[in-house]
Chains A and B, each alone.
Chain A
Amino acid sequence: MRKAVVNQKECVACGVCAKTCPRQAISIFHGIYAVVNEDLCVGCKKCERACPASVIQVVQKEAAS
């Protein structure tokens, strides 16, 4: 399964990804970094393309049991 992964050390918490996500799978954790809810993420890459800091990558992940 493909999931969005945020480089939280370099995330600027601007919220563009959360706004772009068609599944409301991303939230900004206390104004510090973006967090992806992997249960909702479908790996569509919209956030990856929108992220102004380019710190989101959609990667292949093992299916969660």
Chain B
Amino acid sequence: MKKWNEYLWIFSAVYMTLGFFNILFAWIGLICFITPLLLSIIGKGKIYCNSYCGRGQLFELLGSRFKLSSNRSIPAFVRSKWFRYGFLAFFMTMFSIMVFSTYLVFNGTNNLKEVITLLWTIKLPWNWTNTSTVSPWIAQFAFGFYSVMLTSTILGLITMYFFKPRSWCVYCPMGTMTQSISMLKHRRMVK
């Protein structure tokens, strides 16, 4: 029998869908940022990646079960330290810029921009949600955070198609972070 955590791909799929209907659901995605970090900090290693990552399961399902993956090997440079840490640094920089623009809306410097930014460049108007019920900065963070989630899903789908189903896991910034935390906690075991 399948265990409950093997159905977490449903969580990921529902999460990505909800963002299309109401952007404020984007906040739920913080779970996927906080849980893996906390688990590795308390010494559970990469148990999130290994057993609970809904996104990984979704790529596995689409790539393996639905045969949408060409199953080729990923180019060796993608698994190199400099690429993985470089992508993490880039990702964190873009994330910080997003948090800063939320702050600028919070302190009243800027107005709320109802836009989803794909792949850090393409701006999509996303103004069908009534966001007037919440403070503008809460909505701004939702737009920014959903942009991050949608962008990384698209990158993951592209590499799922060209390489192995879960090739996103090779350069996933969360995965790189949890592995680094695990390495710091068990320095003597690192090869």
Contacts and interface: CB of A to CB of B under 8 A. Distances in A.
B74 A54 contact: yes
Given A54-B74, A54-B164, A12 B182 contact: no
Interface residues of B, number: 39
21 contacts: A10-B79, A10-B80, A12-B179, A13-B46, A13-B49, A13-B175, A14-B49, A14-B56, A16-B56, A18-B50, A28-B45, A30-B185, A30-B186, A31-B46, A31-B178, A32-B45, A32-B189, A32-B190, A52-B164, A54-B79, A54-B164
Dominant SS among interface residues on chain B: helix
The 3 closest A-B pairs by CB, nearest first: A31-B45, A15-B50, A31-B182
Contacts of A54: 73-74, 76, 79, 164
Contacts of B50: 13-15, 18-19, 28
Contact of A29 (B71, B78, B189): B189
Interface of A: 8-10, 12-16, 18-19, 28-33, 49-55
Contacts, number: 90
Given A30-B189, A53-B78, 5 more contacts: A12-B84, A15-B51, A16-B60, A16-B169, A18-B50
Given A28-B50, A32-B179, A32-B183, A16 B166 contact: yes
A53 B78 CA distance: 8
Interface of B: 40, 43-47, 49-51, 56, 60, 71, 73-74, 76, 78-80, 84, 163-170, 175-176, 178-179, 181-183, 185-186, 189-191
Contact of B74 (A16, A32, A53): A53
